[in-house]
């Protein structure tokens, strides 16, 4: 155990977060996300929801300060009547860690989101989140000590 580190951040995940550089991205997938199909580097955090994981990561990793939208959400498919109240929770969490708050977010079309994960995500973190459209991409910023 370490002092000051959220216990949900496993040694494996801490190592990967430390390896990531400025501009690298990570994807946190909900329970339905095809993470293993999109990446060879997958960390499973079954039993944990995306909000809990998001908050823990943002305690140790800043969002990219040099892009307008360092946070991406998977856009609801046209014609789908799904509601996404979890996005409000994400915006509250991000606002606690980044002054841009809701302005840090963009929505990405579903298949473009998958492609972005496959091409750009350093790691996919698979959660046990049951909310739909609960997937999120974070772009790492510069750590200033």
As annotated, the active-site residues are: 22
What is the C-alpha separation between 134 and 113, in angstroms, rounded? 12
Q: How many residues does the chain have?
A: 145
**Nearest residue to 124 via CA among 29, 4, 3, 31:** 29
What is the C-alpha separation between 140 and 134, in angstroms, rounded? 19
CB-CB neighbours of 52 under 10 Å: 17
CB-CB neighbours of 65 under 10 Å: 14
What is the C-alpha separation between 47 and 126, in angstroms, rounded? 10
Rounded CA Rg of the chain: 14
């Amino acid at each position: 155990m370490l002092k000051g580190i959220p216990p949900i951040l496993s040694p494996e995940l801490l190592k990967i977060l430390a390896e990531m550089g400025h501009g690298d991205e990570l994807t946190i997938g909900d329970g339905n996300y095809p993470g293993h199909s999109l990446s060879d580097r997958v960390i499973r955090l079954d039993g944990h929801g995306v909000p809990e994981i998001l908050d823990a990561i943002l305690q140790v990793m800043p969002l990219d300060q040099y892009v307008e939208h360092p946070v991406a959400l998977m856009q609801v498919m046209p014609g789908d009547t799904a509601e996404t109240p979890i996005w409000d929770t994400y915006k509250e969490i991000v606002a606690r860690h980044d002054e841009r708050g809701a302005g840090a977010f963009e929505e990405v079309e579903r298949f473009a989101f998958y492609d972005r994960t496959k091409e750009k995500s350093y790691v996919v973190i698979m959660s046990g989140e049951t909310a739909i459209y609960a997937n999120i991409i974070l772009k790492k910023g510069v750590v200033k000590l």
